[in-house]
Chains A and B, each alone.
Chain A
Amino acid sequence: MIRIQARTEPSTLMKIASPLIAIVLTLLFGCLLFSAIGKDPLQALHVLLIAPLSDSYNIGEMFVKMGPLLLCAVGLAICYRANMWNIGAEGQLLAGALGGSAMALYFIDSDSVFALPITLLAGIVSGMLWSAIPTFLKLRFNSNLILTTIMFNYIALYLLIWAVHGPLRDPQGFGFPESALFSDATLLPTLFEFSRIHLGIVFAILAGFIGWFILTKTHLGFQIRVLGADEPAAKYAGFNSKKLSWFVMLFAGALAGLAGVSETTGPIGQLVPNVSPGYGYSAIIVAYLGRLHPIGAILAAVFMAILYMGGDLAQIEMGIPVAVVSMFQGVLLFFLLACDFFINNRLTLSHQATN
Chain B
Amino acid sequence: MLLQANKWLRQNGASTLNTQQIASRLELIDITKQYPGCLANDSINLCLQPGEIHALLGENGAGKSTLVKTIYGVVAPDKGDILWDGKEVTIKSPSTARDLGIGMVFQHFSLFETLTVSQNIELCLSQKHLANIDDLAEKIRQLSEEYGLNVDPDKYVHSLSIGERQRVEIMRCLVQSVKLLILDEPTSVLTPQEVSGLFDVLRTLSKEGCSILFISHKLHEVTEICHQATILRGGKVVNTCVPSEETPASIAKMMVGDLAEQDTQYTKKEGTHTLFSANNLSLPSKQPFGTSLKNIQFELKAGEILGIAGVAGNGQDELMAIISGEDNRTNKSSLSLDQMDIGHLHAGDRRKLGMAYVPEERLGRGAVPDMSLTENTLLTHSTGFIKNGLVQWQEAKDYASRLIKKYKVKCHGEFSEAKSLSGGNLQKFIMGREIGQNPKVLICAHPTWGVDVGAALAIHQALLDLRDQGAAILLISEDIDELFLLADRMSAICDGHLSPQVKTQDTNIDQIGQWMAGTFIDTQRELTQETQS
**Which residues of A are at the interface with B, using a C-beta cutoff of 8 A?**
5-10, 217-220, 222, 225-226, 229-230, 232-233, 235-240, 354-355
Does A9 lie within 8 Å of B417, measured CB to CB? yes
Does B347 lie within 8 Å of A238, measured CB to CB? yes
Q: Provide the residues of chain A in CB contact with B236, threshold 8 Å.
A: none
A219 and B390 in contact, given A226-B379, A237-B380, A238-B325 (Cβ under 8 angstroms): yes
The minimal Cβ–Cβ distance linking B117 to chain A, given in whole angstroms, is 31
Does B324 lie within 8 Å of A236, measured CB to CB? yes
The minimal Cβ–Cβ distance linking B64 to chain A, given in whole angstroms, is 21
Of B325, B350, B379, most buried by chain A (CB within 10 Å of CB) is B379
Q: Mark B252-282, 1 if CB is under 8 A from A, else 0.
A: 0000000000000000000000000000000
Instruction: Report the bound CA distance from A239 to B378 in whole Å.
Output: 12
The 10 closest A-B pairs by CB, nearest first: A238-B348, A238-B347, A230-B368, A232-B365, A8-B37, A237-B379, A233-B368, A219-B386, A235-B326, A6-B36
Does A222 lie within 8 Å of B365, measured CB to CB? no
Instruction: Report the bound CA distance from A98 to B246 in whole Å.
Output: 82
The minimal Cβ–Cβ distance linking B528 to chain A, given in whole angstroms, is 33
Instruction: Report the bound CA distance from A240 to B348 in whole Å.
Output: 8
For residue B51, CB closer than 8 A to chain A, the reply is no
Instruction: Report the bound CA distance from A56 to B287 in whole Å.
Output: 61
Instruction: Report the bound CA distance from A235 to B391 in whole Å.
Output: 20
A236 and B326 in contact, given A6-B36, A222-B378, A230-B364 (Cβ under 8 angstroms): yes
For residue B470, CB closer than 8 A to chain A, the reply is no
Contact with A226, one of B346, B349, B371 (Cβ below 8 angstroms): B371
Given contacts A5-B36, A235-B326, 19 further A-B contacts (CB under 8 A): A8-B420, A218-B389, A225-B371, A229-B371, A230-B364, A230-B365, A230-B371, A233-B364, A233-B368, A235-B347, A236-B347, A236-B366, A237-B379, A237-B380, A238-B347, A238-B349, A238-B351, A240-B346, A354-B76
> Which residues, 77 to 120 on B, are CB-close (under 8 Å) to A?
78, 90
A219 and B379 in contact, given A238-B349, A240-B346 (Cβ under 8 angstroms): no
Instruction: Report the bound CA distance from A10 to B417 in whole Å.
Output: 10
Q: Provide the residues of chain B in CB contact with A237, threshold 8 Å.
A: 347-348, 351, 379-380
Q: Provide the residues of chain B in CB contact with A238, threshold 8 Å.
A: 325-326, 346-351, 380
Q: Provide the residues of chain B in CB contact with A5, threshold 8 Å.
A: 36
Q: Provide the residues of chain B in CB contact with A232, threshold 8 Å.
A: 361, 364-365
For residue B26, CB closer than 8 A to chain A, the reply is no
Instruction: Report the bound CA distance from A232 to B133 in whole Å.
Output: 45
Residue of A nearest to B380 (CB): A237
Q: Provide the residues of chain A in CB contact with B368, threshold 8 Å.
A: 226, 229-230, 233
The minimal Cβ–Cβ distance linking B112 to chain A, given in whole angstroms, is 23
Instruction: Report the bound CA distance from A347 to B37 in whole Å.
Output: 16
Residue of B nearest to A239 (CB): B348
For residue B367, CB closer than 8 A to chain A, the reply is yes
Contact with B369, one of A218, A220, A230, A240 (Cβ below 8 angstroms): A230
Does B391 lie within 8 Å of A8, measured CB to CB? no
Does A222 lie within 8 Å of B347, measured CB to CB? no
Does A220 lie within 8 Å of B379, measured CB to CB? no
Instruction: Report the bound CA distance from A240 to B328 in whole Å.
Output: 12
For residue B193, CB closer than 8 A to chain A, the reply is no
> Which residues, 382 to 404 on B, are CB-close (under 8 Å) to A?
382, 386, 389-391
Residue of B nearest to A235 (CB): B326
Q: Provide the residues of chain A in CB contact with B351, threshold 8 Å.
A: 237-238
Instruction: Report the bound CA distance from A239 to B379 in whole Å.
Output: 9
Instruction: Report the bound CA distance from A166 to B420 in whole Å.
Output: 61
Does A233 lie within 8 Å of B365, measured CB to CB? yes
Does B391 lie within 8 Å of A222, measured CB to CB? yes
The minimal Cβ–Cβ distance linking B58 to chain A, given in whole angstroms, is 23
Q: Would you list 17 pairs from A and B whose C-beta atoms are within 8 A, ordered by A residue?
A: A217-B391, A218-B389, A218-B390, A219-B391, A226-B371, A229-B369, A229-B371, A230-B369, A232-B361, A233-B367, A235-B326, A236-B326, A236-B347, A236-B357, A236-B380, A238-B347, A240-B346
> Which residues, 336 to 362 on B, are CB-close (under 8 Å) to A?
346-351, 357, 359, 361
Q: Provide the residues of chain A in CB contact with B184, threshold 8 Å.
A: none
Instruction: Report the bound CA distance from A235 to B321 in whole Å.
Output: 10
The minimal Cβ–Cβ distance linking B254 to chain A, given in whole angstroms, is 30
Instruction: Report the bound CA distance from A64 to B382 in whole Å.
Output: 42
Instruction: Report the bound CA distance from A239 to B361 in whole Å.
Output: 18
Q: Provide the residues of chain B in CB contact with A9, threshold 8 Å.
A: 417, 420
Q: Provide the residues of chain B in CB contact with A236, threshold 8 Å.
A: 324, 326, 347, 357, 359, 365-366, 379-380
The minimal Cβ–Cβ distance linking B448 to chain A, given in whole angstroms, is 19
Q: Provide the residues of chain B in CB contact with A218, threshold 8 Å.
A: 389-391
The minimal Cβ–Cβ distance linking A244 to chain B, given in whole angstroms, is 12
Residue of A nearest to B37 (CB): A8
Contact with B389, one of A219, A225, A229 (Cβ below 8 angstroms): A219
Residue of B nearest to A232 (CB): B365
Contact with A233, one of B366, B382, B420 (Cβ below 8 angstroms): B366
Instruction: Report the bound CA distance from A240 to B351 in whole Å.
Output: 13
Residue of B nearest to A345 (CB): B36
Instruction: Report the bound CA distance from A217 to B392 in whole Å.
Output: 8
Q: Provide the residues of chain B in CB contact with A222, threshold 8 Å.
A: 375, 378, 391
The minimal Cβ–Cβ distance linking B256 to chain A, given in whole angstroms, is 26
The minimal Cβ–Cβ distance linking A174 to chain B, given in whole angstroms, is 54
Instruction: Report the bound CA distance from A233 to B380 in whole Å.
Output: 9
Instruction: Report the bound CA distance from A355 to B77 in whole Å.
Output: 9
Residue of A nearest to B345 (CB): A238
Q: Provide the residues of chain A in CB contact with B347, threshold 8 Å.
A: 235-238
Instruction: Report the bound CA distance from A33 to B499 in whole Å.
Output: 72
Does B76 lie within 8 Å of A355, measured CB to CB? yes
Residue of B nearest to A346 (CB): B36
Instruction: Report the bound CA distance from A268 to B366 in whole Å.
Output: 52
Q: Provide the residues of chain B in CB contact with A220, threshold 8 Å.
A: 389
Instruction: Report the bound CA distance from A239 to B349 in whole Å.
Output: 10
The minimal Cβ–Cβ distance linking B319 to chain A, given in whole angstroms, is 15
Q: Mark B34-72, 1 if CB is under 8 A from A, else 0.
A: 001100000000000000000000000000000000000
Residue of B nearest to A8 (CB): B37
Instruction: Report the bound CA distance from A240 to B345 in whole Å.
Output: 12
Residue of A nearest to B379 (CB): A237
The minimal Cβ–Cβ distance linking A242 to chain B, given in whole angstroms, is 10
Does B90 lie within 8 Å of A355, measured CB to CB? yes
Q: Provide the residues of chain B in CB contact with A239, threshold 8 Å.
A: 348
For residue B370, CB closer than 8 A to chain A, the reply is yes
Residue of B nearest to A6 (CB): B36
Instruction: Report the bound CA distance from A5 to B160 in whole Å.
Output: 40
Q: Provide the residues of chain B in CB contact with A10, threshold 8 Å.
A: 417
Instruction: Report the bound CA distance from A177 to B351 in whole Å.
Output: 58
Instruction: Report the bound CA distance from A232 to B347 in whole Å.
Output: 12
Instruction: Report the bound CA distance from A205 to B361 in whole Å.
Output: 41
Q: Provide the residues of chain A in CB contact with B348, threshold 8 Å.
A: 237-240
Residue of A nearest to B77 (CB): A355
Q: Provide the residues of chain A in CB contact with B325, threshold 8 Å.
A: 238
Instruction: Report the bound CA distance from A232 to B326 in whole Å.
Output: 9
Instruction: Report the bound CA distance from A220 to B365 in whole Å.
Output: 19
Residue of B nearest to A352 (CB): B78
Q: Provide the residues of chain A in CB contact with B357, threshold 8 Å.
A: 236
Of A5, A10, A220, A232, most buried by chain B (CB within 10 Å of CB) is A232
Q: Provide the residues of chain A in CB contact with B417, threshold 8 Å.
A: 9-10
Residue of A nearest to B38 (CB): A8
Instruction: Report the bound CA distance from A230 to B369 in whole Å.
Output: 8
Does A8 lie within 8 Å of B366, measured CB to CB? no
Instruction: Report the bound CA distance from A232 to B90 in whole Å.
Output: 41
A7 and B366 in contact, given A219-B389, A219-B390, A238-B347 (Cβ under 8 angstroms): no
Q: Provide the residues of chain A in CB contact with B371, threshold 8 Å.
A: 225-226, 229-230
Does A233 lie within 8 Å of B379, measured CB to CB? yes
Instruction: Report the bound CA distance from A226 to B417 in whole Å.
Output: 13
Instruction: Report the bound CA distance from A6 to B326 in whole Å.
Output: 34
Instruction: Report the bound CA distance from A80 to B457 in whole Å.
Output: 42
